Structure 1
Amino acid sequence: MNDIKKMYRTVMDDHFPEKITIEFGDQKLKYRKRTWKLSDDKTGEVIEKGLRYGENPGQEAALYELVKGHLELGGCRFLEPGYGMVSAIDEAAMLQAGKHPGKTNLTDIDNSLNIIKFLLKKPCVVIVKHNNPCGVAYGDTLAQAYDRANMADRIAAFGGCAVFNRAMDRTTAELVVQNYLEVIAAPDYEAGVVDILKVKKDLRIIQIPHFDRLADLCQRRFVEFKSLNDGGLVVQQSPLNAILKVSDFKPAVATHQGVEYRTRPANAAELEDLLFGWQVEQGVTSNSVLYVKDGCTVGIGTGEQDRVGVAEIAIYKAYIKYADALCFKKLGKAYKDLELEIEQGKAAKALKDEIDAETKTAKGGLIGAAMISDAFFPFRDGVDVALRQGIQAIAHAGGSLRDFESIQACNEAQPPAAMVFTGQRAFKH
């Protein structure tokens, strides 16, 4: 066991080169490897190394920043140097290194930024674990946004990465240190805040470089590489999100056998939740469906093979997370801990029954929520399972031969639900 623990704390050497040049015909992109001079968390010795390890201990890894060159292909000018955020994190930006950063710490920050770049108009917090969001929320204050994002899925957020879109204040920091996080990142930290956070010795505290340029990335493409098992590469443009404001949504309209089908219009509050959810979808592994209510995620279903299945999983998660949040607020403990105490005869079953009844009545917080899918619904079954939970508005790509059936399902619901199309899908693999 001690050997396993040692593996997770060992900072590996890597044998990747200091510089990489990638040629696209006669155009070149030049990259520089990022390393950090940091004190060893055990000995205090200053060492200069790059990533601690890759996705798992034993995997060498390296981080590279684009430093020279630009690429233009087919009229698309890709992102040029000067926008470095995660790849530009240096010692000055690493306010506390905690355990030397590894690959997943930085890719979690990166995907959080991929979501939060669309959510800058109000205080917002994105909590990511294993490169998928656990909870995302707006708030009237940053502290409220963090509390809502954390309580959306307290259990998954444990050991996660939280990214903030405003300078962190003392109130927010005092909430943060009540929980266990691996990484926090923000554009800045108010006076005295870092000292509050440093009570967590292993916490990585990051100040994001060039955060003021984050919004620019919403409409800029970069080159994506996917490595294949045979050593080959798939190269693609990064996606562009076409839905940046509520007016970008398209009415859900379909024609079948000469009959036009459409739903009632979504109201202003519903459109805001649909927009919020679509922005979160940009960072969720596909096939995915998520539910949003009042600017906060309620249930997030990720990476499933069928759309009705992932819609059902997100509902199940909404119920479980709602019950856990209730249990924590009422009893100061996790729902699963309460279940165990009941099995051991240390707690009354009536406590759980009360929480279960309240969760069932609220339908896991889904009544009046919005449903967002990263692609169209091939059948109405995915829509139907959500409507039974009281979902009132749905956004998906549109374009299915059976769109009319999904629209019918919305019109048959009591009360009827609204639907909009995005006109694009948001797959992320």
Structure 2
Amino acid sequence: MAEDLKKMYKTVMEDHFPDSLRVVFGDRELVYRKRSWKFPDESGQLIEKGLRYGENPGQEAALYELVDGNLVLGECRFIEPGQGIVSAITERDMVQEGKHPGKTNLTDLDNGLNILKYLMDKPAAVILKHNNPCGAAYGKSVAEAYHRANRADRIAAFGGCLVLNRPMDRAAAEQVSKNYLEVVAAPDFEEGTLELLKKRANLRIIQVARIDRLREYLPQRFVDFKSLIDGGLIVQQSPLNRIRDAKDLKLAETTYKGKHYRINRTPTPREMEDLLFGWFVEQGVTSNSVLYVKDGCTVGIGTGEQDRVGVAEIAVYKAYQKYADAICFDRFKMSYKELELAIEKGERTADEKERIDAETREAKGGLIGAAMVSDAFFPFRDGVDVGLRQGITAVVQPGGSMRDWEVIEACNEADATMVLTGQRAFKH
């Protein structure tokens, strides 16, 4: 069975989806063209194939690019043909095709671009896995941005997709070449970088030249399809994030039973930068989600949970685990879990782990002074209390809960600030 599965992972599937797809909305029509690429097989013969497979081996899949039609429904004018990014990738853009791209490789890349379109003012890096960011960070250079994003969660970043918003430079390539990634994407690759990256023959290296125009996608909607198990569809407009800068965020306030509640202090400039950065990263995180960010870098990312206090706690747990792992790797060049196993085998001493644990507890997993980001309101104060107990000093959330007043009180008690976005950021 295991050998059969290994063979499936290596197989580029045939697909039986049509070469074109038409979606009719009343008297309007959108036309899509299936994407395929010509790459050499193991014998060196050129073969033309589309996606490797879908989410799993054994699932046929196809990638389609919008090539004709313009759709206006009500006052919404949807994105038009000629603006393809991921769906328009050609053989030339795939500097190295690696193992031939599959669905998850391209959806991770797409979500990386979805996040980076808000982070174009500074060098930034996002590493994704299973369509969620493992780590995201600003840096003074792309090398620093990658180092910080990778260090935020080295374990999850293994086998992930790295997307940069600036050309890959040699310093960044040297770091990347030491780690295992499935996909590396950047607007360009400086001289000498490809030689380093191509040492990993299976790495998919993709040039996305349109990255410098990502801001153009901020105000544009696309048609979002959700397929149901009965063959039905739910069709919606894609979301638009109304938050662009500090002036779009409002200090939290509300009135409850005739009493007015308001946050006591405004965010410092550093806190405001983190609140914005965190809200932008939040646009690419599966809901329910809570993030912690500090100094333009993710500290803990909680995703896809059913309750808000639970996901806030999971994000704290992850922050502690990743902080301890970073110390361990710096000190012993091994992961925290490898250290635990080495101690069990008598190869290392327990006091080495105890010192790391003590440092992690003292720093509260790097959460002291961090900002807390929630994609929806806190129904009770218990969710925000999770972050406040760890020393977070700023919160961004949509607001609109019946109990906003007690969340505001919780922040004021801790001398933390809180701003509201006035919109939810669910992503399913």
TM-score over 0.5 (shorter chain): yes
What is residue 211 of structure 1 aligned with on the other side?
A: 211
What is residue 47 of structure 2 aligned with on the other side?
A: 47
What is residue 86 of structure 1 aligned with on the other side?
A: 86
Letter in 2 for 1:176: V
Deviations, residues 297-325 of structure 1 (Å, cap 9, x unaligned): 00000000000000000000000000000
What is residue 423 of structure 1 aligned with on the other side?
A: 422
What is residue 33 of structure 1 aligned with on the other side?
A: 34
Letter in 1 for 2:304: G
Matched, 1:230 2:230: yes
Pairwise mapping of residues 329-340 of structure 1 onto structure 2 (< 5 A)?
329-340=330-341
Matched, 1:112 2:148: no
Deviations, residues 354-387 of structure 1 (Å, cap 9, x unaligned): 1000000000000000000000000000011110
| 8 Å Cα contact 1:86-1:209 kept in structure 2 | no
| 8 Å Cα contact 1:88-1:209 kept in structure 2 | no
What is residue 305 of structure 2 aligned with on the other side?
A: 304
Cα distance in 1 for partners of 2:364, 2:43 equals 52
Letter in 2 for 1:56: N
Deviations, residues 320-362 of structure 1 (Å, cap 9, x unaligned): 0000001001111100000000000000111101100000000
| 8 Å Cα contact 1:83-1:213 kept in structure 2 | no
Matched, 1:313 2:314: yes
Pairwise mapping of residues 124-163 of structure 1 onto structure 2 (< 5 A)?
124-163=124-163
Cα distance in 2 for partners of 1:387, 1:376 equals 16
What is residue 402 of structure 1 aligned with on the other side?
A: 403
| 8 Å Cα contact 1:396-1:420 kept in structure 2 | yes
Cα distance in 2 for partners of 1:151, 1:316 equals 16
5+ residue gaps in structure 2? none
Structure 1 SS opposite 2:136: strand
| 8 Å Cα contact 2:186-2:209 kept in structure 1 | no
Deviations, residues 149-178 of structure 1 (Å, cap 9, x unaligned): 000000000000000000111110000001
TM-score by length of structure 2 reads 0.99
Cα distance in 2 for partners of 1:381, 1:372 equals 15
Letter in 2 for 1:65: E
TM-score by length of structure 1 reads 0.98
| 8 Å Cα contact 2:396-2:420 kept in structure 1 | yes
Structure 1 SS opposite 2:339: helix
Structure 2 SS opposite 1:184: strand
Identity %: 68
The alignment yields a C-alpha RMSD, in angstroms, of 0.7
Matched, 1:72 2:72: yes
Cα distance in 2 for partners of 1:380, 1:114 equals 31
Letter in 1 for 2:384: V
Cα distance in 1 for partners of 2:404, 2:109 equals 36
Pairwise mapping of residues 9-24 of structure 1 onto structure 2 (< 5 A)?
9-24=10-25
Shift of 1:209: 4.1
Cα distance in 2 for partners of 1:157, 1:130 equals 11
| 8 Å Cα contact 1:37-1:48 kept in structure 2 | yes
Pairwise mapping of residues 345-364 of structure 1 onto structure 2 (< 5 A)?
345-364=346-365
Structure 2 SS opposite 1:162: strand
| 8 Å Cα contact 1:89-1:209 kept in structure 2 | no
Letter in 2 for 1:344: K
Deviations, residues 187-238 of structure 1 (Å, cap 9, x unaligned): 1111221111100100000001422321111110000000000000000000
Cα distance in 2 for partners of 1:38, 1:162 equals 22
Letter in 1 for 2:410: A
Cα distance in 1 for partners of 2:424, 2:350 equals 45
Cα distance in 1 for partners of 2:6, 2:46 equals 22
Length, aligned pairs only:
426
Cα distance in 2 for partners of 1:31, 1:211 equals 22
Deviations, residues 398-429 of structure 1 (Å, cap 9, x unaligned): 0101000000001111xx00000000000000
Cα distance in 2 for partners of 1:328, 1:247 equals 40
Letter in 2 for 1:3: D
Letter in 2 for 1:89: I
Shift of 1:146: 0.1
Cα distance in 2 for partners of 1:265, 1:253 equals 12
Shift of 1:392: 0.1
| 8 Å Cα contact 2:86-2:110 kept in structure 1 | yes
Structure 2 SS opposite 1:210: helix
| 8 Å Cα contact 1:34-1:64 kept in structure 2 | yes
Letter in 1 for 2:363: A
Matched, 1:170 2:203: no
